[in-house]
Structure 1
């Protein structure tokens, strides 16, 4: 029996807004959690990425806050998320419903003007979407007080714990109203998250739309075994495909270096990582979503919560090292019932480690040995030769030498792929040899 949003007890203003935005039927996690959340119960919701968690917690927050007015600096509801991008995405997703219910929202994240955020809180905001670090800063400045917060949500709580936010998260939970409602939503639960549930949720109702390791049936998984010296060429041909692609690497240096190489090859690529300013990150995401940029080269900052419509290919250029990272990276495609493909590039020596990761993730990928220029690479990924026309007038960085090492650490001063000696150590050795030669000549 199909359940409609009307059956779940949502008010008419919200139902009309859902209809206007083409949202007709609730996803499983929404149908499961909305009744309890709307009733004010503490909720522990677990569902894979892309399963519709934002509306599952967001609509109850808004409906239960409607009709109340926040005083200056004292929000009534708090949604904590791990990244700036996710905070902005949650705000954008909930704004139409907040407007329908005449609620004011404020987004509190690092990387942009704190003055504007202080002003928004001073003017009054019923619902605040925040990253833990910036919220902590505002509390320290006495620009935000949480004592009137009666509904608190932790989204992607496992990632917040992984990123070291746990002390700031518990600080916020200690300050919200003691008798308030708490909801925790995440794709995966681990030890730290279980501790949060035990300490801060009161007799929570647990709903799991699917197991944390479940794979999406509309998602294909491929492992491409590449020859080391061919690795860069394979990546470049995949990036040159028709259509968008998200490439994951482990380091900021690797992301920047690959991005420069792709742009020098004529590929419309842009980098996304924590070293970029928030305006840069926001602009890059907007261009990727809008199609002006076809390749997003990113670290794991893009692996959680990010929603991009019609993204059908994710490539792990650097293989993920655990199942959780694999699932969250993969979750950027095949969202909301769409189809998608996840490709991981490995060298022969990395196959055993990746096999353990995919097994832990409940994934059975198809393994194929591949070389650049082969028809099979094009069949799996849509790869094609790049135009070779540089997109930037400034001289591009030299292409890194192809080695049997993965891209981890590209751009660092110490290149273990070239024997483990840094440029500085080579120069010091040459200088020492020159000094010894000079001493010998003086001794003569």
Structure 2
């Protein structure tokens, strides 16, 4: 079957052909015809199966007929994360380049003013995260009464992030007569309840068993028993393999993302990072660097697990075993996309045993263990901040007079020893003139301190236990 068999327009087929795709994926072949027939759809498909194009392509042809009005979008696509929303917008730009459709992206972390201006001009496609959409709706900047098409993408992720109440409220503000498409990797009870309430006689399309992983992905568990530097050492060894072209490394915590990226850079790897503490422009810029190949390793938190679609990712590394089994499916789904093959490694320490057992229970398969990991470079000692006191202590010591003097030169006699000598003070040999010279240069009165010591009578208190010499 080809895309031409699905009933798409010539302009759309031309745009699809420009991307190099010739055959639709199973979810695309099953979903596109009923969407074009204006049916409500429930699509259950694992990540990386071409799910986005299964609703983007027919939407472009449906929206090609009609006009947009100010502040009244003709269609609405709800996405759980900023990254996934931006990815869908990119798909519309790629496949809709031969159509004259307007689009707006409503996501947090960017200026609201530009988004409001786009809405005032009128848009055919509105792609939004629930939070930003509800914010603008509350401000009276957007009306949903003209929206004839709704897409709820990644519904199970919406559930995990607590967006279901917002989605229910949004659905009540849309026209009752509309077309609704709901896509999800799994179908838990709350999502089924949502579909039963807001979808009209939907057609269910399931191309893979829920929570199964892509068969094109080779999965490995890497047991680690030592401290953190041992895990980093094992990771570097795996990254150094020849077949690792581009890789995404997932961590559970933002601090781990920053520390690991810093460590990889210190060992000469070309890596970048993306996590929730970065503002939206910085995150998009880092993603663009990864897509262009400026860096071939991206260290990420789960904020990018479901919204990142980069062609040619050869490997995924779960530096931390995910806490939720569903996240494992979506993480490793960043590789093995579009029919390509991929490899996924998951590092498992003593505290992660239960996590990996839950993953294997969910996916219904036992993940092979790596018996041994190649040797990698040792972890360098961390650089400590040099305090002013430490810097003073590490400065080269100035040479003392003793250090400068030749070995056969007479040494300066301590004052206490001089007092203890039987020889009268004025009869003792004077110190070397070379040693006394610096003192004379600094002294205010050279005659008073000729040899660097007191020239007057020896005080009585210095004659303790020593016979006084007349």
Fold shared, TM-score > 0.5 on shorter chain:
yes
For 2:131 and 2:336, the matched residues in 1 are separated by: 31
* CA drift at 1:189: 1.7
Runs ≥4 in structure 1, deviation > 3 angstroms? 236-242, 369-372, 384-390, 395-398
Q: What secondary structure is seen at the aligned counterpart in 2 of 1:188?
A: coil
Does the CA-based 8 Å contact 2:233-2:377 persist in structure 1?
no
What is the aligned partner in structure 2 of residue 97 from structure 1?
95
For 1:371 and 1:48, the matched residues in 2 are separated by: 30
Within 5 Å, give how 1:100-119 maps onto structure 2.
100-119=98-117
Does the CA-based 8 Å contact 2:85-2:307 persist in structure 1?
no
What is the aligned partner in structure 1 of residue 401 from structure 2?
none
What is the aligned partner in structure 2 of residue 430 from structure 1?
none
Higher RCO (Cα < 8 Å, 6 or more apart) = 1
Does the CA-based 8 Å contact 1:237-1:386 persist in structure 2?
no
* CA drift at 1:218: 1.6
Gaps of 5+ in 2: 387-470
Q: What value does the CA root-mean-square deviation take over the aligned residues?
A: 2.2
What is the aligned partner in structure 1 of residue 431 from structure 2?
none
Bigger mean CA deviation after superposition, 363-372 or 14-23: 363-372
Within 5 Å, give how 1:21-420 maps onto structure 2.
21-229=19-227, 230-240=230-240, 243-370=245-372, 373=375, 385=377
Bigger mean CA deviation after superposition, 60-69 or 107-116: 60-69
Does the CA-based 8 Å contact 1:74-1:147 persist in structure 2?
yes
| Cα 1:228/1:387, change in 2 over 3 Å | closer
Q: What secondary structure is seen at the aligned counterpart in 1 of 2:204?
A: strand
- Using the size of structure 1 for normalisation, the TM-score is 0.82
For 1:237 and 1:371, the matched residues in 2 are separated by: 7
For 2:109 and 2:48, the matched residues in 1 are separated by: 26
Q: What secondary structure is seen at the aligned counterpart in 1 of 2:24?
A: coil
Q: What secondary structure is seen at the aligned counterpart in 1 of 2:132?
A: helix
* CA drift at 1:13: 1.2
For 2:178 and 2:56, the matched residues in 1 are separated by: 16
Deviations 1:324-348 (A, max 9, x none): 1110011000001101011111124
Q: What secondary structure is seen at the aligned counterpart in 1 of 2:127?
A: strand
What is the aligned length?
A: 382
Bigger mean CA deviation after superposition, 185-194 or 94-103: 94-103
* CA drift at 1:305: 3.4
For 1:201 and 1:17, the matched residues in 2 are separated by: 31
Q: What secondary structure is seen at the aligned counterpart in 2 of 1:271?
A: strand
* CA drift at 1:387: 11
For 1:131 and 1:178, the matched residues in 2 are separated by: 21
Deviations 1:52-105 (A, max 9, x none): 111111122221121211111100000111111111111111213333221111
- Using the size of structure 2 for normalisation, the TM-score is 0.77
Pick the structure with greater CA Rg.
2
For 2:384 and 2:212, the matched residues in 1 are separated by: 42
Gaps of 5+ in 1: 374-383, 399-444
Q: What secondary structure is seen at the aligned counterpart in 2 of 1:308?
A: coil
Deviations 1:289-325 (A, max 9, x none): 1121122111111111321111111111111133211
* CA drift at 1:237: 3.4
Q: What secondary structure is seen at the aligned counterpart in 1 of 2:96?
A: helix
For 1:105 and 1:114, the matched residues in 2 are separated by: 15
| Cα 1:216/1:152, change in 2 over 3 Å | same
Deviations 1:111-132 (A, max 9, x none): 1111000001111111111111
| Cα 1:114/1:341, change in 2 over 3 Å | same
